Amino acid sequence: MNRLFLLILIAVVASCTVYKEYPIDVYKPGEIPVPPDAQNAVLIYRNFKYPGDTLQQYYKKDHQLRKAQTNPDRLDSILVTSCLNELAKNLKINNTFEDIKILPYNAFKRHSGDKLPVLDFDLVKQISQTTGADVVISLETFSYFFSEYSESYEAPKSNEVITANVWAVFDPEHEKLIERKALIDTIYWNGYDENGNFNKNYQFPPRETALRIASQLSGENYAKRFFASWQTVNRMYAVPPLPDFDQASYYVGKGDWDKAIQLWEKYATDKNGKLAISARYNLALAYEMKDDIEMASRWADAAQKLAVEYRNKEDLKIILLYQNILTQRKKDIAKLNKQN
């Protein structure tokens, strides 16, 4: 009878499991395979706009479209220049290239089309020869939009900027397109600091200032694709409604992974049924945090095996995603070791 009650309890508890996010910093290798002998780079603005990109003179206030007074060509020049300058600064700081040149904003005349064709390699070579660059980095197209929202019952007052751009990196000598990448970034201002404290005297940046900050962030983010850097990502861990898991969650918040492991290990055996899926999954995260990726993979595999056995589709989906993350981390670590 007691064992039956225990099995029922475990089934109920497992069905009430919630997942919490935990931010971690991971060291990621550069994504762009720049030729190892490349020393000089030139940054250009392609000045391409899609026909549908018609909102440069507008912004949104409380879900209503408003026309801005700023000259769109002047603003576009300021924002593109800010973006490329920030890209160049970050590449220089991280010694990606010895010399970096930036061509003027209007080096290309404004042009548009339904499709964005690859830049002609004769032109790429001409730019390379004129500037002495081994690599040509092109900001192909750049779009941005500013919104502001008044305080409501659902949300505090906030400003938002969305930037969308397409980048291309060329190896002129080998006539090779190294990368073409579309990126979308969103940045918010809502008066809350990193600790969740609200500053009632917070000064929200006006439209042009907010757009310039977002443009700089866009250049900084793309620069990270060229060199190894720390990046903040979110992981998830399971918290079934049991005291030991609540206590383990407290230790996670304190960064005391050894104490959390002691609690999770109590539930990781087969006799704990579906509850062991959560325990094993959490143990995988714990060992990743202790930089033991192999042990993390073993626990993730053990969690997957049990999830398949119990046909637990929701947990299995989360576990498979995490297994892919761990596989990528192994590849990143191997790539970093080669780069060093």
Chain center to CA of 316: 24
> Which of these CATH numbers, 3.30.70, 1.10.1740, 2.115.10, 3.40.50, describes 40-227?
3.40.50
Q: Domain residue spans in the chain?
A: 2-28+232-339, 40-227
pTM, full prediction = 0.72
> Which of these CATH numbers, 1.10.10.10, 3.40.50.1820, 1.25.40.10, 3.40.50.10540, describes 2-28+232-339?
1.25.40.10
Residues 6+ apart with CB under 8 A from 297: 284, 323, 326, 327, 330
CB 61 within 8 A of CB 158: no
Residue type, 325: I
Q: CA 303, CA 268: separation in Å to the nearest integer?
A: 9
Integer CA distances (angstroms), 240 to 107, 184, 226, 276, 282, in order: 59, 36, 41, 11, 11
Fold match flag (2-28+232-339 vs 40-227): no
* Tokens, residue 288: 């990743």
**Beta pairing partners, 239:** 18
Residue type, 61: K
Q: What pLDDT is recorded for position 15?
A: 52
| SS3 track for 269-280 | CHHHCCHHHHHH
The residue ranges of the chain whose pLDDT is under 50 are: 1-14
CB 35 within 8 A of CB 295: no
Q: Three-state SS for 59?
A: strand
Helix or strand (DSSP H, E) at 308: helix 293-309
For 93-126, what is each residue's pLDDT tens digit?
Answer: 999 999 999 999 999 999 999 999 999 999 999 9
* Tokens, residue 50: 């899609």
| Cβ neighbours, 10 Å, residue 206 | 11
Integer CA distances (angstroms), 17 to 8, 249, 251, 279, 337, in order: 15, 13, 18, 11, 38
Q: What pLDDT is recorded for position 5?
A: 43
**8-state DSSP, 53:** -
CB 130 within 8 A of CB 37: no
Q: Three-state SS for 95?
A: coil
| Cβ neighbours, 10 Å, residue 334 | 11
Residues in the chain, overall count: 340
